Amino acid sequence: MRLIVYSKGLYSTWLYYAPDRLAFDAGEGISSILGNKCFAIQHVFLSHGHADHISGLIGLINIRNSGMGDTEKPLTIYYPKDNWRVLELIAYIARTNSKLSYDLAWIPLEPGDRVELFQGQNPRYIEAFRTQHTRSELSLGYNIVEVRRRLKEEYQGLSQEEIAQLVRERGREAITTTYPQKLFSYGGDSAPIDPELVEGTEVLCHEATFLNPEDRETPTHSTLEEALEVAQKAGVKRELFIIHISSRYRRELAQVEEKLKGLDLGFRVVLVPPGRVCRYD
């Protein structure tokens, strides 16, 4: 299992991304549904301060303090800088949890900020980017980025043997160059994301509250058509997950998904059914 998603438009949204032990948003139900897996979470990245994306933090922070697991394991929560709704929640949690058994850190982020996930041969980091949701508050999306290595252009036509020889003579670093590869991009609630911000990502998670554009009254949320356009412009490599779907479309989902399969998009589209816990490999 790589990903657990729960997303019901306007009610609750949260994702658990197992490879990096992190959650994107923390709507209602995150702790009761994840159960003991709550203890695996090391980082939570909040996209914005609306209740359906942050209300599960109260339960998560509490269970990490009193549940059956490592109650000393630190937890770090990242949020859009100066977001007043998140700041109110931080104050409430501080007042009601004065003696936590673990270190709880709150880190404000701005667009362009990076958070290191791990070092190593292929280091990974999170990069925050700006989304368009509420006018008065900062909202953020996040890219999980892996730093990869490839042969410098001038060596690309060489045989395996020649390359091995060069590595022996000059070392791997001298003949290779690094490049960032976006593995997973999460947009939270937003009008269509600027495709440049998620360009070339392997997996894009974009909201589409509305499958039918005529149902939209305010421009703070996206339609399915818009999300597809973003993914195409960004050149998504593998999958587009559609989250935050309004429950009014529950019965049409299978039909819409079937229609999408017929299109030649270059990536698979997964409509996350509202109100169901979904696990994806």
Residue with smaller CB distance to Zn ion, 207 or 239: 207
Give least dist CB 141 to Zn ion, A: 13
Cβ pair 72, 91 in contact under 8 A:
no
Output 189 or 226, the one with its CB closest to Zn ion.
189
CA distance 39 to 135: 35
CA of residue 217 relative to chain centroid, distance: 26
Q: Which residues contact 135 (CB under 8 A, 6 or more apart)?
A: none
Contacts of 127 (CB under 8 A, 6+ apart): 112, 113, 114, 142, 143, 145
Nearer to Zn ion, 133 or 182 (CB): 133
* Minimum distance, C-beta of residue 1 to Zn ion, in the bound complex (Å): 27
Q: Shortest Cβ distance from residue 123 to Zn ion (Å)?
A: 32
Q: Which two tokens stand for residue 167?
A: 């590595």
As measured in angstroms, the least distance from the Cβ of 251 to Zn ion is 24
Up-side HSE of residue 68: CA atoms within 13 Å toward CB? 3
**Within the chain, where are the H helices?**
30-34, 51-54, 57-66, 84-96, 160-170, 172-175, 224-234, 253-261
Strand 22-26: give its sheet, edge to edge.
104-109, 75-80, 43-45, 22-26, 12-17, 3-8, 278-280
Yes or no: say if 3 and 279 are a contact pair by the CB < 8 Å rule: yes
Q: In the complex with Zn ion, which residue's Cβ is closer, 185 or 222?
A: 222
Quick one: residue 120, left, alpha or beta (phi over 0 = left, psi -120 to 50 = alpha)? left
Which residue in 106, 97, 14 sits closest to 54, CA to CA? 14
**Strand locations in 152-202 (E):** 176-186
The smaller minimum CB distance to Zn ion, of residues 31 and 131, is found at 131
Closest approach of Cβ 26 to Zn ion, in Å?
13
Using the minimum distance from each CB to Zn ion, give the nearer residue, 10 or 166: 10
Q: For Zn ion, which is the closer residue by CB, 57 or 63?
A: 57
- State which residue, 43 or 133, has the beta carbon closest to Zn ion: 133
Q: How far is the CB of 133 from Zn ion (least distance, A)?
A: 6
- C-beta of 50: minimal distance to Zn ion in Å? 4
Nearest approach, Cβ of residue 82 and Zn ion (Å): 17
Residues that bind Zn ion (CB under 5 A): 50, 189
